[in-house]
Amino acid sequence: MTEKIPSDLDADPRRKAILEAAFATFATYGFRRTSMEDIAKAANLSRPALYLHFKNKEDIFRSLAQYYYDAAAAGMAEALQKTGPLAQVLHGAFVARDGGIIDSVLSSPHGEELLDTKFTTSADVSKAGEARLAGIFADWLKHAEKSGQIRLTTKPEVMADTVMAALKGLKTPPPSLEVYRERQKTLAETLAMGMTR
């Protein structure tokens, strides 16, 4: 449970350290069982000092969700710029879409709770983040179709929304990381075959 918050996403090292400690604590104990005291202790802070940075654990979780989507968007956009076989590019984008934290979430006994909490505690952040990821993918689809790399039978936005929904569904119920990665690879290969015929 030692995933790191991407260092370029926050210039405040104290806030970054708090979020890293909070993520590890949530992964270890689950969201409901984690207290602000637990997070403060993990971040080597007093509880009052923690409250100077965040108003409650929901605020912390919302900040973690925003970091997740920022990292996912950056990683996915970068992965889609790579060259190589279409299935490989797609799979790389799907892995990058995880924002670097899914390994810890799926290996945590509280992974399902954390995934559920993301959509309840930070529903607006999740909705905006999912739309951002779908937009990145739709833009790539438009470019790839225009350059003749792929052929689409539907609008790029519809395809992007469908693929993003499929990727979310691959985590339900939370599988092992190996099974999840295999599902991503299978989806990438299937899409590649369908878009290059």
Three-state helix/strand/coil letters over 56-110: CHHHHHHHHHHHHHHHHHHHHHHHHCCCCCHHHHHHHHHHHCCCCCHHHHHHCCC
Percent of the chain that is helix, strand, coil (3-state, to 5): 70, 0, 30
Distance CA 197, CA 77 (A): 25
- Topology adopted by domain 58-195: Tetracycline Repressor; domain 2 (1.10.357)
pLDDT of residue 103: 85
Q: What is the pTM of this model?
A: 0.88
Say if residue 3's pLDDT is above 50.
no
Average pLDDT of span 50-69 = 94
pLDDT of residue 11: 65
